[in-house]
Amino acid sequence: MANTPDYSWPPMADRKIIGKSFKRLDGQAKASGRAKYTSDLKMKDMLYAAYVLCPHGHARVTSIDTSAAEKVKGVQAVHVIAPAGTEVQWHGKEIAAVAATTEEIAREAIRMVKVDYEVMPHFVNEQDLGKAGSRGKAAGEKVTGDPEKAFQEAEAVSDGVYGIPVITHSCLEPHGCVIQWQGDQVMAWPSTQFVTGWANTLAPNLKVPAANIKVKMDYIGGGFGSKFSPGAWAEVGAILSQKAGGRPVKIYLDRVAEQTIAGNRPSAFGKIKIAGKKDGTITAWQSDTWASGGFAGGGQPPLPYVYNNIPNTRLNHTSISVNAGPSQAWRAPNNQQASFLTCSAIEDFAAKAGCDPMDVFNKNAGYTPRAEQYQYQLAKAAELSEWKKLWKPRDQRTGTMRRGLGIGVNAWAGNGHGCTARLTINSDGSVVLEMGTQDLGTGTRTIMTQVAAETLGLQMGQVKLVIGDNSLPPGGSSGGSTTVGGVSAATRKAGVNALGKLYEAAAPALGVQPEELEAVDGQIRVKSNHAKNMTWVAACKKIGPAGKISETGVNETRNPMGLFSGGAAGVQVADVSVDIETGLVKINRFVAVQDCGLVINPKLAESQVIGAIIMGISTALYEERIMDNATGRMMNPDLEFYKLAGIKDIGDIVVHMDIREVNDKRGVIGLGEPPAIGICAAVGNAVANAIGKRVPYMPMTPMHVLNALEGRNA
């Protein structure tokens, strides 16, 4: 058996491409509009689909008549999803779909589908646990240590109510695909976070062999956890295509459907008490939490978050079913809620104990899995936010505009997923790297190319990359911040493996053994004598009669080989100003200190963090699914009253990537999710610090802030 080649990352000091801030390879194509997203696709004979959606919060379909819609000129297929007798549990649930030659005709035709409903009682708001009744399902109580005694002996106890609402996925590119079903062959162009596995999920539903489903995607306009599976729409699109004689069907959700059924981040509410000493040491935690992720209930945040080794805890949780669309993973599922609930309660405890929260987070870092790391990051975040200069205790602020600072923390695993890269070196020197993966906008294209170029001793422009096709070697799903660790390790291995073969081809000409060679600066050279070398192209000419070397590299999740690991940590500080007369909150500055192990491209890493902060500030200040008790409907399924931040609403962002040898040695760690976790926590705490009162409910709208200031909260 041959020795396992050395796949380890080159030492920090020796890296020429890895660790450098290359611009995003697809940046120009995207910024100029040349990059075509699936939602941009137009094909010959393509049909457009539109949905009939349930207008009620809870109803039974009593009859459905599609005959008028079928007669509309241009309509090519009609498909009933919810036949008479079907009970539907939320506003927006799909009832029927139509495919027509234009989008306008499809939209007109769905109005001609006549559906009668028996409207049934709905329950759509879970904020008040007392009203949930039989819709709530309690998980059993969990107790560690002796919380009773710890609370009795406490020198300070905080007691607060906190709530973070359901927010919806609002990807720039909505959910959908173009799909064509002819006989037993299916061709699909989805918008997905999982190119390789998409067909395998769809195949059983269509009863078509997965081998017969071809999938291709070049660009995706955001996923954030909501685009793993093909979604019900892919199946509906396929059925419409088949009914229309195999014409391709473009089925994309409009904003109403997108907001009501494409997935959401579950809510979380809690009554939380923390006990401790006057010096800020936490001794006990008690939480009664409840949450809803839609009709299926769900959503139990891991509490207490990060500070999960508090010795005495008592936890209760109730999952509530509401008549509303389902949840989908939302950039660190359950962690945002957990960070918000935990950091809010810690901030309130600090205020009760009369301590600076920075000291309390620091003093209790022993309860976290990585005390030194969090303490380092807290100190760095304090420095960058000018905490010592700007932070003042609650109630020491005066005037109409009040400034406040608050802390949020994050933790995430982010181990590399399993995947396979194939690297081919041609005898003319050209190189192609292939994998059935996807670039969610995170920079996957760029970092894969960097790893290959570094490994082969080439420049960025010398490696061609092909992704986004399920006929390529399997990629993993881009979720859980697992992509960067997976694709970089697999690429590294494929590169080292291919290079080994190239060394074998080139070694005789240099009169050495293959293992004496290295690839640096476009040369294959002898490690001990750099003067003995040949150019990359000359070396490739030595490749045998096949004309190419093609090697794969497989990343195995259970055998990281030092290439990747898990466990990212971050500390963030929000600096806000609150107008106490209007309740308006403005972000002055948002500081993020984040580690993610070995950083392949600092610019892209920073960009990831900036993106997370923009998204997070939007959720902290504006985003909220508003459900109407009167009608059972979502009242803001649009981008008008479902408010998203604009660029002027964001404030200054300061990102510090925690790039240190000690972190680098851990290998590559995923970054997509962690920086998005603690933003509501930090902003909520900053507002509490500014106005001297806890605003219990996110987002920090004038309504919520003024309700708190004017005592309108129970």
Partner 1 sequence: MQSFEYANPATVQEAVGLLSAKWGEADVLAGGTDLISLMKDHLHTPKRVVNIKNIKELEGIQKTAAGIRIGALVTMDELAKNADVKASAKSLSDAAAAIPSPQIRHMGTVGGDLCQRPRCWYYRQGFGLLAMKDGKSLVPDGANQYHAIFGSGPAYFVSASSLGPALIALGAKIKLVSAKGPREVAAASFFVSPANETSREIALHPDEILTEILIPPATVKSATYEVRQKEALDWPLATASVTLTMRGNTVASAKVVLGHVAAKPWDSAEAAKAITGKAITADTAEAAGKAAVASASPLSQNAYKVTLARVAVKRALLEAAKQKA
DSSP type of residue 225: T
Residue 646 sits in the site that holds partner 1 (CB under 8 A): yes
Pick the binder of partner 1 from 199, 411, 549, 621 (CB under 8 A).
Answer: 621
User: Based on CB atoms, which residue is closest to partner 1, 531 or 630?
Assistant: 630
The verdict on 531 binding partner 1 (CB under 8 A) reads no
Contacts of 453 (CB under 8 A, 6+ apart): 17, 459, 460, 462, 463
Instruction: Report the residue number, 531 or 647, with the smaller CB distance to partner 1.
Output: 647
What H or E segment, with its residue span, contains residue 690? helix 679-691
Nearer to partner 1, 550 or 631 (CB): 631
For the record, the structure tokens of 453 come out as: 């170029």
Nearer to partner 1 among residue 403 and residue 704 (C-beta):
704
Task: Please give, one letter per residue, the 3-state secondary structure of 336-364.
Answer: HHHHHHHHHHHHHHHHHHCCCHHHHHHHC
Write the CB contacts of 432 (distance below 8 Å, at least 6 apart in sequence). Answer: 423, 424, 426, 463, 464, 465, 466
Contact pick of 183, 630, 661, 714 for partner 1 (by CB under 8 A): 630
Contact 190, 177 (CB under 8 A): yes
CB of 617 to partner 1, least distance (A): 11
H/E segment holding residue 205: helix 195-206
Q: Which is nearer to partner 1, 33 or 711 (CB)?
A: 711
Indicate whether 108 belongs to the interface with partner 1 (CB under 8 A): yes
676 vs 162: CA distance, rounded Å: 19
Residue 341: closest CA among 680, 568, 571: 680
479's tokens: 């979720």
Q: Which stretch binds partner 1 (CB under 8 A): 482-490, 540-548, 606-614, 705-713?
A: 705-713
Q: CB of residue 124 vs partner 1: minimum separation in angstroms? A: 10
- In the complex, the smallest distance separating the C-beta of residue 556 from partner 1, rounded to whole angstroms, is 46
Phi-psi region of 413 (alpha: psi -120 to 50; beta: other; left: phi over 0): alpha
Q: What is the DSSP string of 524-590?
A: EEETTEEEEEEEHHHHHHT--TT-EEEEEEEE-TT--TTSB---EEEEEEEEEEEETTTTEEEEEEE
- Angstrom distance (rounded) from CA 318 to CA 336: 18
For residues 533 and 527, what is the distance between their CA atoms, to the nearest angstrom?
9
Report in angstroms how near the CB of residue 384 gets to partner 1 at its nearest.
25
The answer to the question of residue 582 lying near partner 1 (CB under 8 A) is: yes
Residue 535's φ and ψ, nearest 5 degrees, are: -70, 160
Tokens of 401: 């505009």
Contact stretch for partner 1 (CB under 8 A) within 127-135, 137-145, 364-372, 698-706:
698-706
In the bound state with partner 1, the residue whose beta carbon lies nearer, of 515 and 579, is: 579
Q: Using the rule CB under 8 A, is 610 a contact of partner 1?
A: no
The C-alpha atoms of residue 575 and residue 687 are separated, in whole angstroms, by 9
Question: Are the C-beta atoms of 594 and 658 separated by less than 8 Å?
Answer: yes
# binding residues, partner 1 (CB under 8 A): 35
581 lines the binding site for partner 1 (CB under 8 A): yes
645 binds partner 1 (CB under 8 A): yes
- 706 touching partner 1, by CB under 8 A: yes
- Asked whether position 583 contacts partner 1 by CB under 8 A, the answer is yes
Between 588 and 707, CB nearer to partner 1:
707
Residue 648 near partner 1 by CB under 8 A: yes
Among 146, 281, 649, 659, binds partner 1 (CB under 8 A): 649
Single out the segment in contact with partner 1 by CB under 8 A; choices: 63-71, 210-218, 621-629, 689-697.
Answer: 621-629
Stretch that binds partner 1, among 135-143, 416-424, 601-609, 640-648 (CB under 8 A): 640-648
Q: Which is nearer to partner 1, 110 or 510 (CB)?
A: 110
DSSP designation for 74: T
**237/177 Cα distance (integer angstroms):** 8
372 binds partner 1 per the rule CB under 8 A: no
CB of 79 to partner 1, least distance (A): 22
Least CB distance from residue 397 to partner 1, whole Å? 18
Nearer to partner 1, 36 or 712 (CB): 712
Closest approach of Cβ 176 to partner 1, in Å?
19
Q: Is 644 in the site for partner 1 (CB under 8 A)?
A: yes
Does the N-terminal peptide bond of residue 304 adopt cis geometry, omega within 30 degrees of 0? yes
Which of residues 165 and 230 has its CB atom nearest to partner 1 in the complex?
165
Q: Which residues bind partner 1 (CB under 8 A)?
A: 104, 107-108, 111, 581-584, 621-622, 626-631, 633, 635-636, 640-641, 643-649, 701-703, 706-707, 710, 712
